[in-house]
Structure 1
């Protein structure tokens, strides 16, 4: 599986959840989620394998330390929890759940084996409503655990370009900070927020800046602006294919490529509201049959293996 096919998909309830995982634990869970997406039927009894060699390759870390660190993470992941907004009998409910039911570390094979909890499974698979997706390579170079969490919170708003106003206490909770950690605003900004934004702006496909809102002299809320990088490059690609020749696709090709196109993060902007994968794929398939609408998909079709005439 190439980096370009390693897609992390999470229900927005999990994106907005509050939890405190270390950088290593977050990385392991991301690899597990990517691996779990390949399973046709995902259950709490199904082992999800994450090899240390894959971890080393994906995150470009020192192999001498990785085995011991992942062995330690296998012990702590079992105890980790997350809290998210759920519903119970039609009422909003704050639910707390574990990430995994069981974790095993196979020392001889350099393998960590995870058995995902029922709650995690429901929040990463069979998604048809509100979800966020991104390629794991976008967060692979991060050295701060806060960078991964902030990237996930912000990428959800990419199509809007401006996020909601995050209350400081709520944002700290989502980033996994306790009341005593970086408790002053200056420490929070310099050690958490600014460092995370620097990594996001350096290593990912988006740029981020933020505004502060005060009540008197106290900063109460933060709002982010999120933009995609290389818009000029995208514009050149668009111009290149503005006059692309219409491609006669077979029904089988339309069905296959329609499903694949609907899963591309760069085409997520086509989704209308809380549109499901299936509904978006259906609309894309119709667009592939339309001469005036098909051309926008040509560069993506080529990247997916289609050979234009």
Structure 2
């Protein structure tokens, strides 16, 4: 599907979320603050990215291509009255919206409920392995993927306390993900990576 040359938008990939829908999804938010909260949540999507590996065939040879894509291809217009239009990137939209099915608001609501950037980025990592439910990742690669601060990169105990545990807890509580994880510590030496085993909740809210 190509973008409209006039509007620069990809039909079907622009989702309008109204303040009314936002309040219905998050009744704990005061109505007077709802639009501000909605705009902030939508704007934060622009800073989020997703990475995955895909198999490509070139000149009869198979290879793996690593892709890095923003969730949305344009910052949200916050001057609108009562709604925001979220413009999902063409490369990622089919995965988020469903290749042949219409957009599922239920999934968006649960994903948008995440407040920690580390939760978002851990979610991005797990999403790449949703078919297997298991991922092993090196220490440096993990720190880079989640955007861990330097103090945590240098101290695995801080990384665990400030990044991994809060992110896992939020994904468990807000997305219903069953996650088990452990550090990789060969022969009692320093942590060299992590193993994550996960399973989406039975209602399929996440993947």
TM interval, shorter chain, is: 0.5 to 0.7
Specify which of 163, 180, 197 is matched with residue 150 of structure 2.
180
Answering whether residue 73 of structure 2 is matched by residue 100 of structure 1, we say yes
Alignment check: 8 A CA contact 2:15 2:87 kept? yes
Answering whether residue 169 of structure 2 is matched by residue 198 of structure 1, we say yes
Specify which of 198, 204, 207 is matched with residue 226 of structure 1.
198
1:153-168 to 2 correspondences below 5 Å? 153-154=125-126, 163-168=134-139
Answering whether residue 182 of structure 2 is matched by residue 265 of structure 1, we say no
Alignment check: 8 A CA contact 1:147 1:200 kept? yes
Distance in 1, Cα, partners of 2:16 & 2:93: 15
Distance in 1, Cα, partners of 2:129 & 2:51: 21
Specify which of 50, 53, 61 is matched with residue 17 of structure 2.
50
Alignment check: 8 A CA contact 1:104 1:113 kept? yes
Alignment check: 8 A CA contact 1:42 1:121 kept? no
Alignment check: 8 A CA contact 2:178 2:201 kept? yes
Specify which of 56, 73, 85 is matched with residue 53 of structure 2.
85
Two-structure CA RMSD over aligned residues (Å): 4.1
Name the SS for the 2:134 alignment partner: coil
More helix by share: 1
Query: What 5-or-longer segments of structure 1 have no aligned partner?
Result: 1-40, 129-133, 231-263, 269-309
Distance in 1, Cα, partners of 2:116 & 2:47: 21
Name the SS for the 2:92 alignment partner: helix
Alignment check: 8 A CA contact 1:77 1:100 kept? no
Displacement of 1:210 after TM fit?
A: 1.9
Displacement of 1:219 after TM fit?
A: 0.5
Distance in 1, Cα, partners of 2:128 & 2:52: 16
